[in-house]
């Protein structure tokens, strides 16, 4: 019990102590709150007292920042003014002494204008901009003058010799005259055209001349760039065109290019026109591959970065020169067609085809559309005219009515002309194939050439058949046809025409030649051969008492019994002599121009005549020789006849002495 009371007293004491401690803590807390409350009021009062000072300090700091900005802006503006004065000084001096400095000054002016345009708040900026623009306009005007002066100074016509140096060796002239380059004139059925040569020319290297010194191009480029940036593209185009077009035209004039139209062409003699066409072909190569190629290079380098302007300048500069060249081609293509023009038309067509890809490349761009179309139009017109000339030629061959007399039965001039014509066509096989493709569809273009050739040959044969009817002597008719068709066959066999016309054509026409040779023999020699037969003896006045198989002694006995047969025999010898002499006189004036054919024909005659004559002479010669004046009847030996046959077909004049 006592222990419990003691415990309670102890807990009571502890509780009393805790209450005292809590009371002290509350007192301390109240004191701290009171102190803090006094601090808060003091800080508020201090803050209120410091606010004016803070405002003044911020204002001073802002003022310092604004002053710094203003000073920096002023420095920039002053620097721009300083640069403007420097640029103005250089511009007033002009570009002639220091072009690079002058161009730099223009760039600086443009920079100043941009600067003051973006700083309109500067009160004098409008005035500065106006002054700079005025100065820039003057600068660009002086720049135009400088561009024109420098372009003029370095733009000179190219002498022909310099152009020839850029040609492949095979095209360089032997002399310097414009009309004699590589002997371009005289190109017709007599000229040597080679497709292999054309292939070589297509792969040959051409070296365009330097039209403006390379060191000048960058300066002109910079001048042009400034003018374009200033919006002076049209002025630039005008200056460039006026300067370079005249120089280009003068270069072509020095070369020998003339402005010729259809009326001029119609008035020219063929030989003169043919030479001018040859020159034109040469001029076209030089113009496109050298002059125009060089001019394109200058344009591309000078107007680099301005492709449309480059194309336009090039088109404007070359338009007049191209027109002069193409107008001559047009005049030829539209002039009156004639067979001799076919080969020059093909030559012209060839050069236009050869230059096609280069024209497409050099005259690129929209600005050159018209020039490209004109060149392509000329190419097609030349092809069309050439094809129409083919048709004209075929018709002219068939209807040729020339009265040229070929009295000796030799090859007619028409035949040699047509065959030469056809042979030269085969020098143009690839060209003709291309030409036919311009108008034909389907395949087998080479056979198209074969078809045309066969029609021409057939037209020639038809005409020759008509001409052969002019002869009164059937033998000469067949000799004439034999000569002419043999000439055709021989010419085909020795040319590329054989591959095109084929072996069948050759064999068929060789048989025709042989048929005419046989007809000649029959018509020329049948009558005289009858004199050497028994039928000839009986028909000349003798009776029927001479046996077919009798020998000379048997004949002699028969003749003794019947003097009329002897009389007939003598008459037969006289008739033979007279007919042979007549044949010899006439046919020695006839001509077989081919040596092999002539010998073959003589041999064919000898093979039938000489055996018959020997047999006749052997049977009846002794009887005549035993009679009166035998030399009057037996005038020739077989050897005499053989020798005289050797004089046949030589085309001798009637007054020429006998061999």
| Phi, psi of 650, rounded to the nearest 5 degrees | -95, -10
Cβ atoms of 604 and 521 within 8 Å: the answer is yes
For residue 522, the number of C-alpha atoms closer than 13 Å in the C-beta half-sphere is 9
Which is higher by pLDDT, 657 or 468?
468
DSSP bridge pairs for 142: none
Average pLDDT over residues 574-584: 91
Please write the tens of the pLDDT for every residue from 45-93: 777 777 777 787 777 777 666 766 655 655 555 555 555 555 555 555 5
- Written as six digits, the tokens of 467 are 């001409």
Residues with Cβ within 8 Å of residue 275, at least 6 apart in sequence: 179, 184, 185, 186
Query: Is 232's pLDDT higher than 90?
Result: no
- Written as six digits, the tokens of 12 are 């009571």
Sign of CA dihedral 381, 387, 392, 396: positive
| Phi, psi of 591, rounded to the nearest 5 degrees | -135, 130
Distance (Å, whole) CA 578 – CA 398 = 41
Distance (Å, whole) CA 358 – CA 638 = 74
Distance (Å, whole) CA 558 – CA 552 = 10
Please write the tens of the pLDDT for every residue from 22-39: 888 788 877 777 777 776
> What pLDDT is recorded for position 659?
41
Residues with Cβ within 8 Å of residue 26, at least 6 apart in sequence: none
Domain boundaries along the sequence of the chain: 39-154, 160-169+205-379, 409-525, 527-536+559-646
Please write the tens of the pLDDT for every residue from 157-201: 999 999 999 998 888 886 544 444 433 333 334 455 655 455 566
How far from 64 is each of 52, 57, 76, CA to CA, in Å? 19, 11, 19
Cβ atoms of 555 and 533 within 8 Å: the answer is no
> What pLDDT is recorded for position 69?
66
pTM: 0.70
Q: What percent of the chain has pLDDT over 70?
A: 74
Asked whether this chain's domains 160-169+205-379 and 527-536+559-646 adopt the same fold, the reply is yes
Q: Looking at the chain, how many residues does it have? A: 659
Residues with Cβ within 8 Å of residue 523, at least 6 apart in sequence: 473, 474, 475, 478
Distance (Å, whole) CA 257 – CA 326 = 11
Query: Is 527's pLDDT higher than 80?
Result: yes
For residue 12, the number of C-alpha atoms closer than 13 Å in the C-beta half-sphere is 6
Distance (Å, whole) CA 620 – CA 534 = 11
Cβ atoms of 371 and 358 within 8 Å: the answer is no
Intra-chain end-to-end CA distance of the chain, in Å: 199
Please write the tens of the pLDDT for every residue from 426-472: 888 888 888 887 776 445 545 677 888 888 999 999 999 999 998 99
Average pLDDT over residues 332-357: 92
Instruction: Tell me the fold of 160-169+205-379.
Output: Monooxygenase (1.20.1280)
- Written as six digits, the tokens of 273 are 């026109």
Mean of all residue pLDDT scores within the chain: 80
CATH of domain 527-536+559-646: 1.20.1280.170
């Amino acid at each position: 019990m006592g222990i419990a009371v003691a415990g309670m007293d102890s807990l009571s004491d502890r509780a009393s102590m805790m209450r005292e401690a809590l009371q002290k803590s509350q007192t301390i807390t109240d004191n701290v709150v009171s102190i803090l409350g006094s601090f808060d009021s003091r800080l508020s009062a201090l803050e209120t007292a410091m606010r004016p000072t803070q405002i003044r300090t911020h204002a001073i700091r802002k003022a310092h920042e604004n002053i710094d900005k203003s000073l920096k802006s002023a420095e920039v503006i002053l620097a721009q003014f300083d640069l403007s004065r420097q640029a103005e000084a250089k511009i007033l001096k002009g570009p002639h002494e220091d072009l690079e400095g002058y161009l730099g000054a223009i760039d600086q002016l443009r920079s100043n204008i941009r600067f003051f345009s973006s700083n309109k708040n500067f009160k004098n900026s409008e005035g500065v901009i106006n002054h700079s623009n005025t100065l820039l306009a003057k600068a660009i005007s002086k720049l135009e003058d400088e561009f024109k002066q420098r372009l003029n100074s370095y733009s000179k016509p190219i002498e022909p010799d310099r152009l020839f140096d850029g040609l492949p060796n095979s095209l360089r002239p032997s002399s310097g005259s414009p009309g004699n380059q590589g002997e371009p004139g005289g190109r017709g059925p007599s000229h040597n055209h080679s497709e292999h040569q054309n292939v070589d020319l297509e792969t040959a290297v051409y070296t365009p001349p330097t039209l403006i010194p390379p060191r000048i191009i960058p300066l002109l480029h910079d001048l042009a760039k400034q003018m374009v940036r200033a919006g002076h593209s049209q002025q630039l185009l005008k200056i460039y065109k006026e300067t370079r077009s005249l120089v280009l035209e003068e270069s072509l004039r020095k070369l020998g290019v003339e402005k010729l139209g259809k009326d001029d062409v119609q008035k020219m003699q063929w030989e003169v026109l043919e030479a001018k066409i040859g020159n034109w072909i040469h001029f076209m190569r030089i113009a496109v591959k050298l002059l125009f190629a060089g001019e394109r290079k200058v344009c591309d380098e000078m107007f680099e970065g301005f492709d449309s302007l480059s194309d336009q300048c090039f088109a404007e500069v070359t338009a007049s020169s191209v027109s002069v060249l193409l107008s001559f081609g047009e005049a030829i293509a539209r002039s009156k067609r004639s067979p001799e023009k076919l080969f020059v038309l093909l030559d012209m067509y060839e050069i236009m085809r050869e230059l096609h890809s280069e024209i497409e490349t050099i005259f690129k761009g929209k600005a050159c559309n018209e020039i490209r179309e004109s060149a392509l139009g000329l190419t097609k017109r030349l092809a069309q005219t050439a094809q129409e000339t083919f048709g004209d030629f075929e018709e002219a061959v068939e209807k040729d009515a020339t009265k040229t007399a070929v009295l000796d039965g030799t090859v007619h001039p028409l035949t040699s002309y047509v065959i030469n014509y056809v042979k030269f066509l085969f020098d143009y096989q690839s060209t003709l194939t291309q030409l036919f493709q311009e108008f034909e569809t389907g395949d087998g273009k080479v056979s198209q050439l074969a078809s045309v050739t066969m029609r021409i040959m057939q037209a020639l044969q038809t005409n020759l058949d008509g001409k052969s009817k002019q002869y009164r002597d059937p033998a000469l008719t067949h000799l004439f046809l034999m000569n002419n068709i043999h000439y055709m066959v021989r010419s085909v066999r020795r040319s590329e025409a054989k591959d095109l016309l084929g072996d069948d054509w050759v064999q068929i026409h060789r048989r025709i030649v042989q048929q005419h040779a046989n007809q000649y023999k029959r018509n020329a020699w049948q009558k005289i051969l009858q004199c050497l037969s028994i039928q000839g003896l009986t028909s000349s006045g003798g009776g029927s008492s001479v046996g077919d198989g009798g020998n000379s002694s048997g004949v002699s006995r028969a003749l003794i019994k019947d003097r009329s047969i002897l009389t007939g025999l003598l008459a037969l010898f006289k008739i033979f002599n007279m007919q042979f002499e007549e044949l010899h006189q006439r046919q020695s004036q006839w001509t077989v121009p081919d040596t092999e054919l002539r010998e073959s024909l003589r041999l064919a005659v000898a093979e039938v005549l000489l055996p018959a004559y020997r047999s006749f002479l052997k049977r009846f010669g002794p009887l005549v020789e035993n009679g009166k004046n035998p030399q009057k009847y037996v005038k020739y030996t077989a050897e005499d006849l053989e020798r005289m046959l050797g004089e046949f077909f030589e085309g001798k004049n009637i007054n020429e002495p006998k061999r």
